[in-house]
Amino acid sequence: MLEGKVVLITGSSSGIGLATAKDAAAKGAQVILHGSSKSKLEAASAAVGGAPYIQGDLATSDAAERIADEAIAVHGRLDVLVNNAAIFPRTELEASDGEAFDRIFAINARSPLLLSRRVIAHMRDKGIKGSIVNIGSVNAYSGQPDLLVYSMSKGALMTMTRNIADGLAIEGIRVNQLNVGWTLTETEIETQRAQGRPDDWQSSIPPVFAPGGRILLPEEVASHVVFWASDMSAPVTGQVYDVEKYTFLGRNVMSRVV
């Protein structure tokens, strides 16, 4: 499915990013990993057959272009960019100050823009009809009270996806976004524990939030990412696809609360 494609996945030292890297490599891609922790990247690289990796904090102003340039230099080309890296600290209205806003938007919205800009320039230069997949969230539609700034950043990403895709459609470079639902990543497990929930919290989630009996697994999300990264999803572009177990828009949660 991705034979011969060079794929850069940001935030791929764990969670959805790592699961996507494993799946992409299994589908024939030459994967390049990215993360901020060297120890996690080394472990992820070992899990993906020794895949090369680039370390960098996307909150810094010059990181995105440097990471893109280093990724291009690995194999001399990039066919696919997966903008997966993101942070989701809890921020209610009262905690949504300028510092929180700047850091969350720097990683979740600014870096995908700058990475995409550099990679698109490379694709144009090389005549590559590539694919960019942005990993969003169902929170982009409104979010929850303690994820205010995160939800705003994913809404911005959604608008960016459609805007860039519209401008690039004639060139054959595709840009799509996956709005992902609640997923059982390592970071989510740590977040729930930090909020005082028991170790087995994922086994007692109300059906209104997990109609299939559990929330999504990273591997399940990864298969969708690989599809949208590959030519199997061509020529579709500019789409926002919800990776969730229920219809999100128009869903009446209160009608399902017993």
Q: Confirm whether 150 is a catalytic residue.
A: yes
Classified as helix, coil or strand, 135 is: strand
Amino acid at 143: G
Q: Are 145 and 92 in contact (CB under 8 A)?
A: yes
The whole-angstrom separation of Cα 239 and Cα 175 is 8
Buried b or exposed e, range 51-80, using 16+ CB within 10 angstroms: bebbbbebbeeebbeebbebbbebeebbbb
Sheet holding 131-137, edge to edge: 53-55, 30-35, 6-9, 80-83, 131-137, 174-180, 240-243
Residue 35: its H or E element:
strand 30-35
Give Cα separations from 210 to 165, 220, 235 (angstroms). Answer: 32, 14, 32
Question: For 189, phi and psi rounded to 5 degrees?
Answer: -60, -45
Q: How is residue 110 annotated by DSSP? A: I
From the list 53, 150, 241, 246, the catalytic residue is 150
Q: How far is CA 42 from the centre of its chain?
A: 20
- Annotated catalytic sites, by residue? 150
